Amino acid sequence: MENLYTNEKHTQILIALLKAHGIKKVIASPGTTNITFIASIQHDPYFEIYSAADERSAAYIACGLSAESGEPVVLSCTGATASRNYVPGLTEAFYRKLPVLAITATQPVDRIGHNIAQVIDRRVQFNDLVKLSVQVSGVYNDDDKWACEIAINKAILELKHHGGGPVHINFTTTYSTIYDTKVLPKVNVIRRISYKDELPNIPEGKIGIFVGNHKKWNKELIEVVDAFCEKYNAIVFCDHTSKYKGKYRAFAGLIATQESYQSPCCFVDLMIHIGDISGAYMFFSPAKVWRVNPDGEVCDTFRKLQYTFEMEEQDFFEQYVNLKEDKKENTFITEWKNEYEKIYNKIPELPFSNAWIAQNTISKLPENSILHLGILNTLRTWNYFEEPQSVLGYSNTGGFGIDGCVSSLIGASLGEPNKLFFGVVGDLAFFYDMNSIGNRHVGHNVRLMVINNGRGTEFRNYGHIGHNFGEDADKYIAAAGHYGRKSHLLLKHYAEDLGFEYLSASSKEEYLNSVKRYLESQITDKPILFEVFTDSKDESEAIRIMKNIEISTKGKAKKVVKSVIGEQGVNILKKLYKRT
């Protein structure tokens, strides 16, 4: 019989990734739900398949075969209770750290609990059964394909991770009867590199190091990253939370957020991803991504992940610096600086807004001070403008909630009472966390700015889907009208009664007069709270301006099309384009 594969896209991906990772041994048990997988591989000469009608025995056969061969072994069974018979054998594999991959076929998981024949719940596993359990469903679009590839790569890599052990894939089928696929699809193969592995070669071209929210850098790490950049024509993409202050810093919030212009600087041949979650929402287009983190996790932020390096950042960069003897002229940093200057010099006068406040404040922050930014609107707008070299930035991008921005600022300020700590938050974030400024440990080194526009202005910004509802968004989406309705007295009395010095401004002129006190370089005899009243329309317009400073010919064309046919028409054209 001709070697034809099922037309189920996710099954094709599974088979392609098993082959790419060098997994060929399969113990197959009979059934209907797993038939598309087994029927697809049984005529593929790459696979070495054995039949076992008893799943309990199949799992133990896999243990013996894996232990003897030193290779991963796949188990495949149907739905119903077939997988339950794997439990003893997988438990054996767990404690012996044997790489057994149990692929249990299932009907769609949304059928669980509806008295549908042969549907059981495999979503929770025993603690000592498998190292990892993932759910893989059908593939119908690019997002599905990405999720499918990530889940299967992750499962396969876990077979030998940290000593190895069994892994579970709960694999949904559609019971397709069509076997007409001759060639498996191209798939993104992700590999994990540890200290004992041979390092892959770094490609020629532009190299970007993207730094998400990062802990404080020590001198040694900065020096080795700078040395790496010198040898490999690399630059370091940063926002306020990245904290890298080396020679090859590329503050990217302005260039990488232009919506009608894609800078050539944002296209890189390799992106090295370090740090944690970034709240900068920047656009980059890397050809490949290498993630470097001691956790070794498959974390594919840019959807181009090729390797995950399970090692400390300093060790990674030191190894590559030592591999290359000669230095080369770093043309990338020069290109970046020229691009930044070109766009920055085009910034027009902004309306009175969070963005204008950032523009007229951030460069004046006192030396060696600390800046805490609330999410989301504040972090975005302040990321358009670079902070002084000695200032370190923080934001709660981990859980990404507004509920603890002020408390985090106060907690940080307690750690270094002789250093100034500045915080900027919106009104909803402040009032959510307002009890924290009543804490009796609040020091005189705290400077808090509250941008009060009377609502969650994020939901009224022109690029947000809430903007489509206009004034109606205020009722429940943007939660307008709470907390005194922009009262000029409520927060003043609250702050002063708690021992704060209170400042306020409702215009550019008032702000420029009051901000001098807010930025006083010496610790004052009271903490300071500066309330600034802005308007949502001005906030939205400021962001629109900042994201459209540079517009390419292609960007202009897109804007014309969008203005003629609207957002819905653009989406229809995108779908038609994908089909052609």
Q: For the segment 386-424, what is each residue's pLDDT rounded down to a tens digit?
A: 999 999 999 999 999 889 999 999 999 999 999 999 999
Query: What percent of the chain clears pLDDT 90, i.e. is strictly above it?
Result: 92
Report cis status (omega within 30 of 0) of the bond before 376.
yes
> Burial, 242: exposed, middle or buried (Cβ in 10 Å; 0-12, 13-18, 19+)?
buried
Region for 210 from its dihedrals, namely left if φ exceeds 0, alpha if ψ lies in -120 to 50, beta otherwise: beta
Q: pLDDT, tens digit, for every residue of 468-522?
A: 999 999 999 999 999 999 999 999 999 999 999 999 999 999 999 999 999 999 9
Token pair of 37 as six digits:
């997988």
Q: Is 578 a residue whose pLDDT tops 60? A: no
Are 505 and 424 contacting, i.e. CB atoms less than 8 angstroms apart?
A: no
Whether 60 maps to a domain, the answer reads yes
Q: State the Cα–Cα distance between residues 85 and 91, nearest whole angstrom.
A: 11
Number of domains in the chain: 4
Residue with tokens 């970034």: 278
Name the nearest CA neighbour of 300 among 151, 200, 158, 193.
Answer: 151
Looking at residue 202, what DSSP letter applies? P
As a whole number, mean pLDDT of residues 347-365 equals 98
Whether 327 maps to a domain, the answer reads yes
Q: State the Cα–Cα distance between residues 465 and 269, nearest whole angstrom.
A: 33
Whether 291 and 177 map to the same domain: the answer is no
The CATH number for 224's domain is 3.40.50.1220
Query: Is 66 strand, coil or helix?
Result: helix
Whether 297 and 409 map to the same domain: the answer is no
Whether 309 and 413 map to the same domain: the answer is no
Sequence-distant (6+) residues with CB within 8 A of 369 are 390, 391, 419, 420, 421, 422
* Boundary of a domain, candidates 313, 344, 375: 344
Whether 200 maps to a domain, the answer reads no
Q: Is 576 a residue whose pLDDT tops 80? A: no
Whether 331 and 379 map to the same domain: the answer is no
> Rounded to the nearest 10 degrees, how much is the dihedral formed by the CA atoms of 300, 306, 310, 315?
-120
Name the nearest CA neighbour of 151 among 301, 325, 298.
Answer: 298
* Boundary of a domain, candidates 292, 309, 344: 344
Whether 540 and 572 map to the same domain: the answer is no
Cα→Cα distances 576→56, 498, 571, 573, Å = 49, 60, 9, 5
Task: Identify any residues that bridge with 251 across adjacent strands, giving them in sequence order.
Answer: 238
Token pair of 380 as six digits:
């975005």
Looking at residue 560, what DSSP letter applies? H
Q: What is the pLDDT of residue 569?
A: 59
Q: What is the pLDDT of residue 123?
A: 87
Q: State the Cα–Cα distance between residues 295 and 313, nearest whole angstrom.
A: 11
SS3 content of the chain, % helix, strand, coil (to 5): 40, 15, 45
Token pair of 391 as six digits:
């200032």
Instruction: Please report which confidence band the pLDDT of residue 580 belongs to, taking 50, 70 and 90 as the band edges.
Output: very low
Whether 321 maps to a domain, the answer reads yes
- Read off the amino acid at residue 204: E
Whether 240 and 161 map to the same domain: the answer is no
Instruction: Please report which confidence band the pLDDT of residue 570 belongs to, taking 50, 70 and 90 as the band edges.
Output: low
Whether 125 maps to a domain, the answer reads yes
Whether 365 and 482 map to the same domain: the answer is yes
Instruction: Please report which confidence band the pLDDT of residue 326 belongs to, taking 50, 70 and 90 as the band edges.
Output: confident
Token pair of 240 as six digits:
């306020």
Q: Is 554 a residue whose pLDDT tops 80? A: no
Whether 195 maps to a domain, the answer reads no
Whether 198 maps to a domain, the answer reads no
Token pair of 145 as six digits:
């394909």
* Predicted TM-score of the model (pTM): 0.93
Angle at 575 between CA 572 and CA 576, to 5 degrees: 85
Are 492 and 529 contacting, i.e. CB atoms less than 8 angstroms apart?
A: no
Region for 8 from its dihedrals, namely left if φ exceeds 0, alpha if ψ lies in -120 to 50, beta otherwise: beta
Q: pLDDT, tens digit, for every residue of 117-154?
A: 999 999 899 999 999 999 999 999 999 999 999 999 99
Whether 314 and 363 map to the same domain: the answer is no
* Boundary of a domain, candidates 344, 365, 386: 344
Whether 339 and 384 map to the same domain: the answer is no
> Burial, 526: exposed, middle or buried (Cβ in 10 Å; 0-12, 13-18, 19+)?
middle
Average pLDDT, the chain: 94
Q: Is 281 a residue whose pLDDT tops 90? A: yes
Are 518 and 449 contacting, i.e. CB atoms less than 8 angstroms apart?
A: yes
As a whole number, mean pLDDT of residues 520-526 equals 97
Whether 362 maps to a domain, the answer reads yes
Containing structural domain, residue 180? 9-188
Whether 182 and 108 map to the same domain: the answer is yes
Q: State the Cα–Cα distance between residues 290 and 278, nearest whole angstrom.
A: 16
Q: State the Cα–Cα distance between residues 261 and 548, nearest whole angstrom.
A: 8
Whether 60 and 125 map to the same domain: the answer is yes
Q: pLDDT, tens digit, for every residue of 37-80?
A: 999 999 999 999 999 999 999 999 999 999 999 999 999 999 99
Sign, CA torsion 387/388/389/395: negative
Q: What is the pLDDT of residue 24?
A: 98
- Read off the amino acid at residue 481: G
CA 383 to mean position of chain CA atoms: 17
Cα→Cα distances 580→283, 537, 572, 576, Å = 26, 40, 13, 7
Backbone angles phi, psi at 316, to 5 degrees: -60, -55
Q: State the Cα–Cα distance between residues 359 and 387, nearest whole angstrom.
A: 10
Whether 447 and 317 map to the same domain: the answer is no
As a whole number, mean pLDDT of residues 103-108 equals 96
Q: pLDDT, tens digit, for every residue of 375-393?
A: 989 999 999 999 999 999 9
The CATH number for 421's domain is 3.40.50.970
